[in-house]
A and B are shown apart, each in its own frame.
Chain A
């Protein structure tokens, strides 16, 4: 079984400061890892993914995430936060193998608030 943990329900960051949203995962094999963002009354928007290769992946809106296999983590980061980054962020994992098992398992979400 695969699972994702987002240990922080809420993260507050001052505008202009770096931000980190934490995610750890559990999967039987090698994972595909994703970050999605949800704005109020909107669907989930894909931000970035880790498939293979470089452990640091870059995504939309200046976000990046670092894959750490030994710590089974995939933390989302941004060097300088914007007020418009305030939203609900979800980490998700998918098993790399088993065609027919492509479902995403999501964490519980972290509400990011950027304080002006």
Chain B
């Protein structure tokens, strides 16, 4: 167990809908990262938050947004969902001076 908790584990929703994925980092970790894993794109970095502030953006669509709350948990919001958004979404966390990131089990999103 990495200590990173993601909910829900599975999500099935229709095109055009909006969903929220939640991540609780390891205790004490200030950094939260979101990644998308799909068959055609592999593991893609979406966004990084550090202590509540956005630090870096990757290949994140404008329909997607994220935030990190004062208690350090993070949410990834996906809107106007398309079939191509179906993927495994991972959250990872690391310490302030840490090097490796620890990953949650992921949320498998299926858009139908």
Contact = CB atoms under 8 A, between A and B. Distances in A.
A104 interface: yes
Given A43-B90, A108-B42, A103 B33 contact: yes
Interface residues of B, number: 23
Given A94-B99, A108-B42, A109-B42, A102 B48 contact: yes
B56 A100 contact: yes
A26 interface: no
A36 B103 CA distance: 10
Interface in A25-57: 32, 34, 36, 42-46, 49, 51
Interface of A: 32, 34, 36, 42-46, 49, 51, 90, 94, 100-109
Interface of B: 2, 4, 31, 33, 42-43, 45, 48, 50, 55-56, 58, 90, 92, 94, 99-106
